[in-house]
Structure 1
């Protein structure tokens, strides 16, 4: 089991770079990934402009997948500084739904008839 926690600031070394992100060796046979969207604020055209292999960096742990053990890392979150090894409050959060509202698929169901009519009208006018 890993001793890492979401929000921890850790030190690592970049071991590989792909167009989608950089792999970071965190030590103790642990590896994490910095997605290209997490390497810098704003648009990143080429990850090589910000990172290079063997570069040593501090990163924040964004997420740890409990099933696969994959660790997602961020450089963007370093704006809110913390001591290495200590959890920090993350400013970057991923909320795909509003967990306080239990509406399920109701908004989609309410829109479905309108979407079908629009698709039908578009299809009829194009053919």
Structure 2
């Protein structure tokens, strides 16, 4: 874990909220730095994981965040493992970054006292449509 350094972060970089208790957003919420004005970052929250639910975009102290690499974008789902069987939800929620999925899986593991795994979609496989040709005999 590396805490943000005001002079080390630049607009466009992503940061993750650490557990500060100062905001409605939960620890692990991800935001993008839009602007810097000492000692604040203007943050644009990523609302697609539920951790920043109800949190307004705006100015936040730089020391409330941890640095993070550019999010590894993709499709991630959380799956429960029970009795050596993976049990995905009937309609699993799709997370856009690994950090979001990991943070939610950690919260679910603590809340439900279970073992949760994060799966990433690595390929889309489909059967190409077959074109039918019709021959007409005259």
Shared fold per TM-score greater than 0.5:
no
Higher share of residues assigned strand: 2
- With a CA cutoff of 8 Å and minimum separation of 6, indicate the structure with the bigger relative contact order: 1
With normalisation by structure 2, the TM-score equals 0.25
In terms of fraction of residues, the more helix-rich structure is: 1
